[in-house]
Amino acid sequence: MNAAQTIRQNPIRKSRNYRRRQTKKAIINTISYILLITGAIISLIPFIWMISTSLKGRAEVFIYPPNFIPGTLRWDNYSSVFSTFPFFSYMRNTATVAVSVTIIQLVVSATAAYAFARLDFKGRNALFFLFLGTLMVPSQVTLIPSYIMMTDRFLALKGTLWALILPSGLGGVAFGTFMLRQFMLGIPKELEEAALIDGASPIVSFFKIILPLSKPALATLAVFTFMGSWNEFLWPLLMLERPELQTLTVGLAGLQTRWGTRWPELMAGSLVSIIPILLITLFAQRYFIRGIVVSGLKG
């Protein structure tokens, strides 16, 4: 109050204050830019180095001091990756698994979330708490029994892509249900009530009202599930042995075992394997960010 009054009464003071504040702002902004650019350089250098190495000849990699821009661009590193290792089939397997897991996860979680958010039945809260409780159980606990379950002793799915799709798609239901339920609880009940009074069944109301309104939450869950599945490593490593069925992460690890220190080819392979997920992140950024914030501060 006092300051405001002085400012109004004294125009010279005002301009000096204003100037000082502008300088301060400029300084803080400059510092911020410096920090942001440093952060960006550190974030990107490994990737730039990855690209640079992937285009070098096998001997050029061991030159000291190293050069960022290769003498001659050796695109054949990429063709040798594609010819030695069935990269396209890795990519296809990974995509098949990631898309299936995402679709299953969305269907199963959305229906369950609707039941927990809107339907009234006995034991609803107890069941929901059971779902929540399993979120606390680390994956290491279920890892061993799930492995045994997939072997020939029980489901005999080990070695097939089903072994990746079913546990992640159906087993990841607790988190998806929790997230979507929270979202659906925020949708005003009145929107549905009119339809229900007119005699619509919950199924109609789910498809016509709740699902369309839940699109942002569904998209967030989809992006997250897809990324998790795309980058999964240990489970595919345990489940897949036949090379033609492997996913990108496991295939790349195999590339490393086989090629040891053939850095140009290894870098080319790494780069190719992350391009799809980078593109998806770029386009689905909004949902991605929302997902992190939701899972982080409220979950």
Partner 1 sequence: MRKTPLKYVFIFLVPSLIGFTVFNIVPILSSLVLAFTKWDLLTPIKFVGINNFIQMFTKDPIFWPSLGRTLLYSSMSIPLGILTSLILALAMNRPLKGIAIFRVIYFVPYVSSMIAVSMVWKWLYNDQFGLINTFLSFLGLQPQSWLSNATLVIPSLVIMDVWKGAGFGMLIYLAALQGIPEQLYEAATVDGANAFQSFFKITLPLLGPAHFYMLVTGLINGFQVFDSVYLMTQGGPGFASRVFAYNLYQSAFRQFQMGYASSMAWFLFFIIFAVTLLQFKRLGGKVEYDVI
Interactions with partner 1, residue window 20-49 (CB under 8 A):
24, 28-29, 31-33, 35-36, 39-40, 42-47, 49
Contact in structure between 159 and 247 (CB atoms under 8 Å): no
CB 11 → partner 1: shortest distance, Å?
A: 20
CB 284 → partner 1: shortest distance, Å?
A: 10
Q: By CB under 8 A, is residue 109 in contact with partner 1?
A: yes
Size of the site for partner 1 (CB under 8 A): 95
Closer to partner 1 by CB, 170 or 194: give it: 170
245: closest CA among 89, 95, 97? 89
Q: By CB under 8 A, is residue 256 in contact with partner 1?
A: yes
Q: By CB under 8 A, is residue 252 in contact with partner 1?
A: yes
DSSP string computed for 21-38: HHHHHHHHHHHHHHHHHH
| CB half-sphere exposure, 17, CA atoms < 13 A | 10
Q: By CB under 8 A, is residue 102 in contact with partner 1?
A: no
DSSP, res 197: H
| CB half-sphere exposure, 148, CA atoms < 13 A | 4
For partner 1, the binding residue among 173, 179, 184, 221 (CB under 8 A) is 173
Q: By CB under 8 A, is residue 120 in contact with partner 1?
A: yes
Residues 276-295 that bind partner 1 (CB under 8 A): 277-278, 281-282, 285, 288-289, 292-293
Closer to partner 1 by CB, 15 or 139: give it: 139
Point out which span in 10-18, 78-86, 107-115, 211-219 binds partner 1 (CB under 8 A): 107-115
Q: By CB under 8 A, is residue 106 in contact with partner 1?
A: no
Point out which span in 5-13, 71-79, 80-88, 134-142 binds partner 1 (CB under 8 A): 134-142
Point out which span in 11-19, 73-81, 214-222, 229-237 binds partner 1 (CB under 8 A): 229-237
For partner 1, the binding residue among 131, 178, 235, 287 (CB under 8 A) is 131
Residue 53: partners with Cβ closer than 8 Å, 6 or more residues away: 61, 263, 264, 267
Q: Is the dihedral of CA 163, 166, 169, 171 positive or negative?
A: negative
Contact in structure between 149 and 155 (CB atoms under 8 Å): yes
Contact in structure between 293 and 182 (CB atoms under 8 Å): no
Closer to partner 1 by CB, 31 or 73: give it: 31
Q: Where are the beta strands (DSSP E) in the chain?
A: none
Q: What span, in angstroms and rounded, lies between the C-alpha atoms of 92 and 6?
A: 70
